Amino acid sequence: MVAYLLSIGMNDTAATLRQEAHLTENEGFDHATTKKYETLLEKKWTSVVRLQKKIMDLEAKCNALQNEVDTATPLSSNRKIDPLTWLPKSPARQTFAGHRQPVNAVAFHPVFSELASCSEDSTIRIWDYELGESLHTLKGHTRSVLDIDYGGPRGGTLLASCSSDLTIKLWDPSDNYKNIRTLPGHDHSISSIRFIPSGAAGAPLSGNLLVSASRDQTLRIWDVTTGYCLKTLRGHTEWVRAVTPSLDGRFLLSAGNDRIPRLWDATTGEVKITFEGHDHFLEAVAFAPPASYKFLSDLAGYKKSPPPSSSGEFLATAGRDKLIKIWDNRGTCHKTLVGHDNWVKAVIFHPGGRYLLSVSEDKTIRCWDLSQEAKCVKVIADAHEHFVTDIRWAPDMNLQVNGVAEKENGANSSIAGQQQDKGGGGGGGKIRCVIATSSVDLNVRVFAG
């Protein structure tokens, strides 16, 4: 302070302060020391002022963010909704437009609020379905991208895509969706792709295996770590349009233009059973989650429901005959759902187990209540302006194992269903009430509770 007073010409004041503080030249407070410290106090004052301004700015920013959080309405945060009985309703919460040609499929990231869509315009787009923003556009395929799926080795998540360009591509979401590997091998368009879960039923884990279905009449199982094709499954006699794994990855279900769905042993590659009853090309297959077993057992007239630990007990198939058929894994059709006016493109089971949802080229979403003899209890007639091509259910982060999820029209539902059987449902936040659909109208829509 003495040095500052001297620097601004207040010599008498400085002298008085030195006298009262007993600061003499003999005690080291000489002219050189005075020069050394004459600007120090002013620097301290200005530093304090700058810090005070910074604190005020941060407090204002924090208040603004808190206000944004308080007033926001996240897609999956409505606690008044019972997840076990929630069904989508019109209008859609979000509509994403950006593709230049029809959208073929959608898939949810297992952890983050990211939604992928693929299109005949040869691109994949990544959206944030909570914020309603476009995040990435992935270019690499040279022809129509027909299907996509999230999954991958334990500890990591990948996005897989398949295309009419005869290739499968793997993208790394943690590295700005960089294309890390391309898998060639099929001889014709690749119609469907799914990651195969590994682990016991009830404790599913993502694995490093991937299954693809192609117009070359085969299924192929791939190791995504090495990029090698481990097994080629032959049995279909025409275009294979759809494939899906069971919850524990033991079984694969496929269907296509030969009109006969097939249940495969994923380990041996052998056909376990065929299902005969459809009379047109098939477009969709799904395994029922364990949460559905009690409803489907009643529907089938079983005296006792299969244990929740079992997988692949019931399944659904659908296609261009406008029908959805529900089967057991012994090849018996227990129910045929009639209601759609055009080709059925995709089916999923509700994670709570009670409902089956389907989309069709009649532009609708239909909800079937398995507890009421699979009666159609809800129709969203204006789901899209054109053919609806796919439907997926958002996985819940609480149900993930090591932050990685199994992605399949029914796999996430199966995981959720197991949790429901263990008392995790009924408003406990285990089921995220969010679904996404894609369409020939170039749009992706998100329906949320």
Q: Give the mean pLDDT per block of 10 residues along the chain (449 residues).
A: 74 76 64 68 75 88 80 54 90 95 96 95 96 95 97 85 97 95 95 85 64 96 93 96 94 97 94 96 96 95 92 95 96 96 97 96 96 95 95 72 36 38 41 94 94
Dihedral angle, C-alpha 435, 438, 442, 447, nearest 10 °: -20
DSSP code, position 305: P
Helix (H) or strand (E) holding 3: helix 2-7
> What per-residue string of b and e applies to 57-81 under the rule 16 or more CB within 10 Å gives b?
eeeeeeeeeeeeeeeeeebbeeeee
Looking at the structure, do residues 48 and 150 belong to the same domain, yes or no?
Answer: no
Residue 83 in any domain: the answer is no
Q: How many CA atoms lie within 13 A of 79 on its CB side?
A: 1
Q: Please report, as a single letter, which amino acid is at residue 258.
A: D
Residue 30 sits in the same domain as residue 111: no
Residue 33: count other Cβ atoms within 10 Å of its Cβ. 15
Residues 312, 396, single domain; the answer is yes
Distance CA 260, CA 280 (A): 9
Residue 84 falls inside a structural domain? no
Residue 4 in tokens:
């500052």
What's the structural domain count of the chain?
A: 2
Q: 31 is written with which tokens? A: 């002219």
Query: Does 425 map to a domain?
Result: yes
- Residue 182, Cα to own-chain centre: how many angstroms? 22
* Residues 196/207, Cβ–Cβ less than 8 Å: yes
Record the pTM: 0.77
Structure tokens at 92: 């859609």
Q: What is the pLDDT of residue 273?
A: 96
Q: State the Cα–Cα distance between residues 291 and 415, nearest whole angstrom.
A: 9
Give the CATH number, domain containing residue 153. 2.130.10.10
Task: Provide the β-strand partners of residue 367.
Answer: 357, 378
Are 134 and 97 in contact, with CB atoms under 8 Å apart?
Answer: no
What pLDDT is recorded for position 449?
82
User: 397 and 327, same structural domain?
Assistant: yes
Domain that holds residue 366: 94-448
Q: Which residues pair with 160 in a beta bridge?
A: 149, 170
